[in-house]
Structure 1
Amino acid sequence: MKILLLSMPDSFEHMPTVAIRMPNGALTSLAGNLDEHHDVSVADLILCQRDVKAKVTELIRDLDPDLVGMSVMTFQRRTAERLMYLIRAMKPGIKIVVGGYDPSLDSEAYLNMPVDFIVRGEGEVTFRELTRALEGRGSLHFIAGLSHREPGDPGENRWVHNPQRAPHRLEDNDIKLPKRSARILEGYTLLGRQVDVIETSRGCTYDCSFCSIIEMRGRNFFAYSFDRVLDDIRDAKKHGARTIFLVDDNITLNVRRFEALCHAIIDAGLNTLDYFVQGMTSAIANHGETLAPLMRQAGFRYVFLGIENILESDLQLLQASAKNTARAGGKNIGNATLQAIEYLHQNQMFVVGGLIVGSPNDTAESIEANLAFARQYVDWPYIQHPTPYPKTPMTEEFRKLGLIENERLEEYDGTTPVVRNENLSADEIEYLRWKAERGMKTRHIPAVFRHDPWFVLRNAGRMAAHTYRGATLRTFLGLEDERQAFTRYKEIRRAEREYV
């Protein structure tokens, strides 16, 4: 069977393609876990963002796939639907399957789209069994984690949801390595260096109200063997990667395991690569004295900290207090963020600060407090607004309170306020974030220059143009109110969504 796997071209505001073009690791994992006789191709459309329709048309024409799989996030749903109709128009008999957290958690939204199957949750085994069933080697009805169409009343279709597939325990290495050779497009970069993604574990046991992972797979944590992880890193390196992003949901949930992983990377001589990881502030604050130097020795350069918010009232709303609490002598001693940042900075690592501002009770003062904190302590801001992704506890609460004002899912990218605030308009919340972030992002350029001077020399203009889009010479000379630049920025952002 000829199979084409696509990720969507829509990108997050905080991940401009001039600086970050990250591969979709789920697709290569699906490819690596299919039966070997299939002819499978992986295309990350983020690599052809300005020419999506032409590229997909070319792929369907040249590859002539029997089955197209699409990985979809909520803000990419509209783009995915457009591509489905394009593909189905070119090849009416083609089968289309979707996966990812959006179709997994909101399958009914896909009922009226030209979709044949939904792979819910983890996809490797479900997708493999689906391809076997399509070849006549099994029944669709017995594939756990699959939703498929079933005729109901005359002229009506409905989804048949097979039982949920339990999360894979991973320790047995039954999930094979990704098949990176299946990629047919090139250009994955992070700040000028070729980048790839690996995972060492899956899952989390916390219950943050904004998180879709818990809703999709439950509260659990399973990990791969270190031999498997090291083989994955070696494979990524063999395919050209110089930077590795560890995409684990919560790699610092088991700190002792993470420490052992750092030792394993060092012992294997793989610490010549740059590593980017996501971590909890509490884990790094409580163990950073020994963990942070070890991370740096292993090659870790950037750490995404889930700070979420520096105000305890907002952390309680987000249900994120526990993972942001420092402990000493068996007691809670307050917010862990400053201590975590200090340990990372002492060991020459950079902090990508994940904060959420604009919660329903936020004021201009509380938002500014978080922005001021980021301005002082964070190297690279990743500031978002509360976003009601499908089926999360936050979404249920916002709907119950009637706080969701914007149902345009293409704007559910985390940087467009879509939830009503009791004290501020959505426009004002977005303006406060936009205005503060630009200077923070520019401030990090010297650090990037020291690491990759040629990249900065070639792309500084494009990066600045993206960061300050909407601004003109009049803005910089103070001859117009910055809100005029902000209005132009919003128009540009809307046009970017439409273009993709």
Structure 2
Amino acid sequence: MDACVPVFSSLARFSAMHVTFVSLGSELIGVEYLSAYLKKYGHSTSLAHHPALFNDRFQLNMPLLAKLFDQDDRIVEYILHLDPELIGFSCLTNTFEWSLEIARRVREQKRIPTIFGGVHPSAIPEFVLGYDEVDFVCESEGEVALLELCNDLECGGDGTGINNIWAKPDGEITRPPMVSSFLQDLDSLPFPDKELYAGATPSRSVYRTMTARGCPYRCTFCFNNFFANLPDQGIEKDYVRRRSVDNVMEELHQGKERFDFRQLEFHDDIFTMHKDWLREFLPRLKKEINVPFYCETHAKFMDEEVAQLLKDGGCAGTKMGIQSLGEFSYKHTMLKRAEKEEDLIRALDACRKVGVQLDADHIFGLPEETQQHRDHALKFYREHTPGRIACFWLTYFPGIEITTKAHEAGQITDEQLNDIHRGKLLWYHQIQAMTAEGRKNLKENSGYMIAFHLMPVVPKFLRRFVVPNVIRRIPLMGTMSRGVMALKMLKDFVFGGSFDAWVYLRGYLFFIFGRGRHLNKVPRSSRDDESPPPAPDPVPVPVAQQSV
């Protein structure tokens, strides 16, 4: 067959391309799926991964240490050494600026096409494509679209006319014909390409995967708020999709044989959906794999039976979003939250009864939240205390309803909205800090945040003495509360609870003292080679090595 037959509607591969994915911080399961899909149809892939030590673009930022361990120069040199035909970036808002900078620095030395995808570009594809360093943007899910783009470019095409792909041949932005419906049969996908990250992670560590895609809820502060509505046909096909039990078990068997992993993380938005699926899957997981696992749940999908299934299956801990407490009408109207207080109590009591640690997330700075909401949350946590309470300031992301309404109400200026689009994170506390009244409000919030951090480690009979307005006045109490929370994480690991603290620490040890310190190094003999090196074959790694 002619290698230049149009391939916009075909998954056939006619010749191979080499794609280098660039990532920052942690393993990206979505990128592993993209890599596996390209490889299935004969293309080759590689990875340039920056561990983001001491500046993970989320919570930890220690500028002096981050500069000492920075690998930006090495990343750029390594990409040029790999000499791909396409460079792929999967971006959150937190990582968009960094991704642009790497693309810009590579472009200064060699013109290699780039494609940006992920949540941030999907929210504002035309804005992202406006950057000179960005040649294509993938809106929504990308397996099929990226394959068709690679096939088209290999045939000399310009990337136009492909569903989900924004392009700009000759500098003129071209929209995709349509944004396709979400892929329904997840079993049809190859397993995520764990070899991609195998050399960039500690051996025998955590295996991360997903058994489902999508969330049934549209919380106004979450990316699902807009992402579920991206397809042009709307959601006439399910946004929430789940793999079969046999399909997931086959992946885990292959992963266990290849990497001999010791822990397992399920990155589903809500792992505990579909009780019948859990009844079939979890006993098999315990019998056939038998490693501790961590997952996320929701109060609407947690009761005593589910908690017992998790416990019997080997669950080391789970987490749910509480985010706000108070009258249900506020949560339902302002946040589009579905759970009521009795759902939260049922979930916490069920997990406590069977011995599964249930952690919680709580957001400060939600719109129209009052002192009464915070006092009610304090009272609730004194009586129904999660294993840990992780507190966050509201973050304004592009595309979500809470950001749009804040902009329409004048709470976010046009300039601030543009900064958000450019990847500069905007938190509620940054806006509040601009006025005297706002700064007073921040001080009050900080007292509650400290109290929530401390609540799980304070004996129940003493919790009534944890008074936000008092403890916030104690010097360094905020730092101390975060330290206490970190020690609680370590205690949970030592005594069989959640293992996230150990995973985090082990990653740092790997990159500072272990094999990870050699990541992205270009062989010295290659640096002066005038001819570009060929796309590398996969590097063999020890059987015990594991991706994180």
Indicate the SS of the match to 1:377. coil
Choose the corresponding residue for 1:126, options 145, 150, 154: 145
Aligned CA distance change for structure 1 residues 306 and 258 (closer, same or farther; 3 Å): farther
Report the counterpart of residue 186 of structure 1 in structure 2: 200
Label 1:77 to 1:281 Cα distance change in 2 as closer, same or farther (>3 A): same
Matches of 1:107 and 1:378 in 2, distance apart? 39
Task: Render the CA deviation track for 1:463-485: whole Å, top value 9, x for unaligned.
Answer: 9xxxxxxxxxxxxxxxxxxxxxx
1:362 alignment counterpart: 369
Is residue 84 from structure 1 mapped to residue 103 from structure 2 by the alignment? yes
Match of 2:6 in 1: none
Q: Distance in 2 between matches of 1:113 and 1:382?
A: 39
* CA deviation after TM superposition for structure 1 residue 47, in Å: 5.8
CA contact (8 A) 1:8 1:72 kept: no
The total of aligned residue pairs comes to: 424
Say whether the 8 Å CA contact 2:107–2:133 is kept in structure 1.
Answer: yes
Gap change, CA 1:372 and 1:30, over 3 Å in 2: farther
**1:450 equivalenced with 2:465 (yes/no):** no
Residue of 377, 385, 400 corresponding to 2:385: 377
1:403 aligns with 2:403: no
Deviation at 1:239, TM superposition (A): 2.4
Structure 2 unaligned residues grouped into runs of 5+: 1-16, 56-68, 230-234, 454-481, 510-548
TM-score by length of 1: 0.76
Cα drift, residue 179 of structure 1? 1.3
Larger Rg: 2
Matching residue's letter, 1:311: G
Q: Which stretch of the first structure deviates more once superposed, 111-120 or 39-48?
A: 39-48
Structure 1 residue 273 and structure 2 residue 297: aligned?
no
Alignment of 1:133-152 (within 5 A): 133-136=152-155, 140-151=159-170
User: How far apart are 1:402 and its partner, in Å?
Assistant: 1.5
Matched, 1:158 2:173: yes
Letter in 1 for 2:228: R
* Counterpart position of 1:14: none
Residues 221-278 of structure 1 deviation map (CA, whole Å, 9 limit, x = unaligned): 11112121112222333324322221112333323323332233235x12x2121111
Contact 2:122 2:140 in 1 (8 A): yes
SS class of match (1:228): helix
Q: In 2, are the aligned partners of 1:44 and 1:185 still within 8 Å (CA)?
A: no
Match of residue 34, structure 1, among 38, 41, 60: 38
CA RMSD after TM alignment: 3.2
Residue of 80, 95, 102 corresponding to 1:61: 80
Who is 2:402 aligned against?
394
Could you say what secondary structure the match of 2:495 adopts?
Answer: helix
Name the residue aligned to 2:124: 106
TM-score if structure 2 supplies the norm length?
0.70
- Partner AA of 2:394 in structure 1: P
Runs of 5+ in structure 1 lacking a partner? 10-21, 326-333, 464-500
Matched-pair identity in % = 19
Corresponding residue SS for 2:101: helix
8 Å CA contact 2:324, 2:373 repeated in 1: no
Shift in CA distance, 150/44, structure 1 to aligned 2, threshold 3 Å:
same
Distance 1:335 1:266 in 2: 31
Matched with 2:543 is none
User: What is the aligned counterpart of 1:252 among 266, 272, 295?
Assistant: 272
Distance of aligned partners of 1:119 and 1:353 in 2 relative to their CA distance in 1, 3 Å threshold: same
The question of 1:225 aligning with 2:229 is answered no
- SS of the residue corresponding to residue 402 of structure 1 reads coil
User: Once the two structures are superposed, what CA deviation does each residue of 1:88-136 show, in whole Å capped at 9, x if it has no partner?
Assistant: 1232x20111110100111133112411111111111111111111111
Distance 2:432 2:282 in 1: 43
1:4 matched to 2:42? The reply is no
What secondary structure sits across from 1:297 in the alignment? helix
Q: Does 1:315 find its partner at 2:331?
A: yes
Distance 1:320 1:117 in 2: 33
- Distance in 2 separating the partners of 1:184 and 1:68: 19
Q: Which moved more, 1:242-251 or 1:72-81?
A: 242-251
Instruction: Give the 3-state SS of the residue equivalent to 2:72 in structure 1.
Output: helix
In 2, Cα distance between the equivalents of 1:162 and 1:241?
Answer: 43
* 2:227 is the counterpart of 1:216: yes
Matched position secondary structure for 1:341? helix
The residue aligned with 2:425 is 412
CA distance in structure 1 between the partners assigned to 2:260 and 2:23 by the alignment? 21
Tell me the distance in 2 between the aligned counterparts of 1:159 and 1:370.
49
Where 1:141 maps in the other structure, the secondary structure is coil
